[in-house]
Structure 1
Amino acid sequence: MASSEPNTARSPPLLDFSVFYSEDLAAKKKLVDQVRDCCLHNGFFQIINHPVPVELQQKVMQWNKRFFDLPLEVKKSVGKDLNTWNRGYELLRSQILEEGTLPELKEGFYIGEEIPKTHPYHVNKKLNSGPNAWPSEELLAEVEDFKTTCMSYYHAVVSLAKDILKVLALTLDLDESYFGRFSDGAVATMRLLHYPPTEKGDGEEKLRRGIGAHTDFGAVTVLMQDEVDGLQVWDKDVQQWFDVMPVPGAFVVNLGNLMMRWSNDRYISNLHRVINRSGKERYSIPVFFSGNPDYVIDCLPNCKAEDEQAKYPPITVEEAVGGSYRESYGRAEKWKESQKKQGIEKAVGATAGNPVAVA
């Protein structure tokens, strides 16, 4: 029987990423071998000694917390429902990634590359591309520092993600530059996230998630956690959830569905979730690297025999990632509609003389 209780015994390993930039070929080969093992096992690993400055990590996390401490009216002034390209503030309970659970107990703020409405990606509605949504200076006096910090961090992590893809190419016995065309003109999305503590004693606690069990949609995700735990990774070998405990300065890296499809299921895009049982506020910042939206994902060399059929037909990044995104938000909208319908039915029952319990 599968256990739902997490532990840390098989938490993703910490890897020293600095050797990727060194001249020590033996150490670099060891890193590549370690990453390959992680990709074959559950698609998760953690990296330390990377190029993103600790000071920048700390500053953007401070802004993460400051943003969500703003009054709701200020956050809603940059709500992502005010545009059609998914930039800005996302209310609590806006998404359901795990079917059968309640809308997720998280609020977010979406950021991406700052591009004008005249850019071809925006004109052609490529993967939620467009200008970012920032609070006005009247509502947030230090908004320029908020913008500068977020964009500096975004570009630093996107650059790191491209280096991680170089390592992944080497794990597949490909040239280090193999994913270059995929990375050119890439779309990546950053989310500032805030998870209130999971509500307890309401009869529905087992169905509450900060983020429900899911796999990521893109190629790779690079995540920074604060000091509060809650992230859990599923281990298929032992049928158990394992905690990914926060490590100061480290990034959690995981493969997404694109990489799993691209490698013909050789590599794993693994289930993970967040349940904040700590009693504290949890904050994190993932950067989802999707790639060039027009790039066609087809089976990688060395991932199938010459006479073997690929498991998946070719598909563009736009088609693959966009479809998954719409599905997850559609679940939350269906749930809200069902709740509204139930409320109407209860109200009709009450007016017909049937007693209705009021919570």
Structure 2
Amino acid sequence: MPATAPPILDFSPFYGTDAQAKAKLVGDVKNCCLHNGFFQIVGHKVPAELQERTINCVKEFFALPQELKEKVHKNQTTWNRGYENLGSQILEAGTQPDQKEGFYIGEEIPTTHPYFTQKRLNSGPNQWPVGLADPSAFQSTSMEYYKAMHALARDVLVVIAQTLGLAEDYFEKGFTKDAVATLRYLHYPPQQKDGDEKLKRGIGAHTDFGSVTLLMQDEVDGLQVWEKETSEWLDVVPTKGAYVVNLGNMFMRWSNDRYISNLHRVINKSGKERYSIPFFYSGNPDYVIDCLPNCRAEGEEKKYPPITVEGAVGGSYKASYGAAEAWKKEVEGKKTGGAEVKVEAIAV
């Protein structure tokens, strides 16, 4: 039987009263988490009109002149908010920097907030671009979408709790309280169709850092998910309105490797501009990640020591950006006859 891309699940039973339909949804999600950590959902509560407005915001931002995007560069902060240039990350060892540019958005908090003053994970005020047709609409739409995704991520975690035989509100008891999350606007320019896929990717093969990721694609394909049973990359064809959901490294650790944080990548050979909007849900930065109940067989040891959300996620960001900087120094060193710099991408 041929392998198939992550299945599209109807999430609407979550909001209904049909116990049998809810149980089927929980079972389907559990099977996906055990298999490769990926599934897709429709029937959620994020309005199509809001999705469309947000995609239009993404396209308008990346169409700005480069100098206007640079005015809100993320390097002006230490908390990952704002614009990132093409080639800022390497997520797969042995490849060139990723062929994407991005824009980071998070909870809008003031500089007096404890998360900011204590330099917590990705926490601080947003940077907002100028030069747009309606900058205030860009800001309000972005934050409206951020809040909608925050709510959907919590809904997904309610279902995942049930897949593990835990109470529906298990993750609400600390993990989702004052949680940190990141919304990321991404633009992938077209890659040459005859380019070397082994070296140049839209984004290299990687696994995500946090608990769950919710991804909205535009109409252009390019996302691929690794299928371990057949050792092949499967295309995730965009479905209008759907979210691609996947577990991150932190959740895999949390579940004692019972659930999977799986490899995925983007290669944009469509000849078109590609846009996507991932939402990365990390959790409360102080929450301690320790092996979840029901994730160890009798007598089985924990595979990992306890670690905070901030400890689990924060180092991965630094490593992926540091790898790209090292690559650029190596290239520059070769041009000028200088010493080579060994480049090691993050092991994800």
Asked if these proteins are the same fold (TM beyond 0.5), I'd say yes
Partner in structure 1 of residue 209 of structure 2: 217
Q: Does 1:311 align with 2:303?
A: yes
Partner SS, residue 278 of structure 2: strand
Partner in structure 2 of residue 192 of structure 1: 185
Is contact 2:197-2:267 (8 Å) kept? no
* Cα shift readout 1:251-282 (whole Å, capped 9, x = no counterpart): 00000011100110000000000000100000
Number of residues paired by the alignment?
A: 336
- Uncovered stretches (5+) of structure 2, i.e. residues with no partner: 339-348
Change (3 A) 1:67 1:201: same
Partner in structure 1 of residue 234 of structure 2: 242
TM-superposed CA distance for 1:306, in Å, is 4.2
In the aligned structure 2, how far is the partner of 1:239 from the partner of 1:329? 28
Partner in structure 2 of residue 33 of structure 1: 27
Within a 5 Å distance, the mapping from 1:26-105 to structure 2 comes to 26-105=20-99
Is contact 1:199-1:205 (8 Å) kept? no
Q: Does 1:147 align with 2:139?
A: yes
Q: Does 1:120 align with 2:114?
A: yes
Letter in 1 for 2:74: K
Letter in 1 for 2:315: G
Is contact 2:41-2:245 (8 Å) kept? yes
Letter in 2 for 1:37: N
In the aligned structure 2, how far is the partner of 1:160 from the partner of 1:147? 20
Higher mean alpha-carbon deviation, 158-167 vs 299-308, is at 299-308
Partner in structure 1 of residue 10 of structure 2: 16
Partner in structure 2 of residue 256 of structure 1: 248
Partner in structure 2 of residue 177 of structure 1: 169
Q: RMSD of the TM alignment (CA)?
A: 1.2
- Uncovered stretches (5+) of structure 1, i.e. residues with no partner: 1-7, 347-359
Partner in structure 2 of residue 301 of structure 1: 293
Partner SS, residue 175 of structure 2: helix
In the aligned structure 1, how far is the partner of 2:252 from the partner of 2:197? 32
Given the two structures, how large is their TM-score scaled by the length of structure 2? 0.95
Partner SS, residue 192 of structure 1: strand
Structure 1 stretches of 4+ moved >6 Å: none
TM-superposed CA distance for 1:205, in Å, is 4.5
Partner SS, residue 194 of structure 1: strand
* CA radius of gyration, larger in: 1
Partner SS, residue 337 of structure 2: helix
TM-superposed CA distance for 1:9, in Å, is 4.9
Is contact 1:218-1:257 (8 Å) kept? yes
Q: Does 1:131 align with 2:96?
A: no
